[in-house]
Amino acid sequence: MAYERVSRVLLKPRNVVLLTGGILAIKIFPDAFPQLISRPLYQGYHGGRVRKLQDLQLEEFQEVCRNLGVDAERYHLFVTGRWDIKAKGVSWMPNGVQFGIPVHFVEEPSIASIRFSDPIKTNLDTKEGQLFQESFNLSKPARQFALASEVARIESGHTIAKACLLPTFIAVGYVTTFAALPMLNFLPRFVALLGIGSVYMIIYRFSLGQINESIDLRMDRKVANLSPTYANGGLEYYEKRIQKNIALRVLLESKGKKMYSYYGNEHQGIFYSASAPLTSRKDAIKKIVQQNNKNRN
């Protein structure tokens, strides 16, 4: 049968090595060459021209790098039209990091410069529309906390570690398969491989989600502990993000309810979390702010 032939091919050691090597290369490529993928994908435009970085945005970013002890020269800044920071790359690699700063990360953001879908545009005058617009107005501490949290995540080195996770699971799954097949000889080989592969994929997705949440919370705490100003900025930043999502839940109607929870968190998958819940991140920062206030008194 064709399924049996496929299973025999997959179980050859040479093919497993090629598969894991290929997946590792695919995972690392976007971070090794971010100028080829990240910048063209997220670059912001206005009137057909590339948006220019404002002096204020550059100054705030450089100040963040000084506070973190990071070399700002390894970061290639651009303005993104997306609502959140978009960054790809590894600072110690030759191509450095492509770092997209949202267009509204300025003192007085212009709503006209931010891209909205039609359901949002037509409801900007409503209560939720006003709350949505207000969520883009961030103070300097809030903007710098967001920048610092992303820089800290990149500098942590977890990018490469996460890229190696899937190839590692495949290699371990290959060894496990050889050990388990004799005990599953009552099943067709392809069915046994499919079952083992499915279990490992679920474990991989769950593990990756837990790693994402752990990294988010640890980097947030690291930045918030730099100073009370950063901590206060972090609390404001997550309050505004939650405010935006709650407004979007109403503005986008049925689609909004599918995307955002009642509390403003983004709905995640069953086994996978792309990031820690915003409410958890806000609560973690809030504890640091309360401790700072207690120490001050």
pLDDT tens column, 233-270: 999 999 999 999 999 898 888 888 888 999 998 988 77
DSSP track, 195-206: HHHHHHHHHHHH
Q: What average pLDDT does this structure show over 153-167?
A: 86
- pLDDT, position 8: 63
CA 244 – CA 134 distance, rounded (Å): 8
The full set of domain ranges for the chain reads 2-26+107-296
CA 101 – CA 141 distance, rounded (Å): 15
Contacts of 69 (CB under 8 A, 6+ apart): none
Q: Treating both helix axes as pointing N-terminal to C-terminal, what angle do 228-251 and 189-224 enclose, rounded to 10 degrees?
A: 130
**Residue 9 banded pLDDT, cuts 50, 70, 90:** low
CA 208 – CA 272 distance, rounded (Å): 7
Nearest Cα to 223, choosing from 234, 212, 215? Answer: 234
Q: Name which of 15-29, 80-94, 182-196, 213-227 the model is least confident about.
A: 182-196
Q: Up-side HSE of residue 160: CA atoms within 13 Å toward CB?
A: 8
> CA 67: distance to chain centroid?
22
Q: What average pLDDT does this structure show over 37-45?
A: 88
Distances from the Cα of 241 to the Cαs of 5, 128, 161, in angstroms? 51, 14, 28
> CA 18: distance to chain centroid?
28
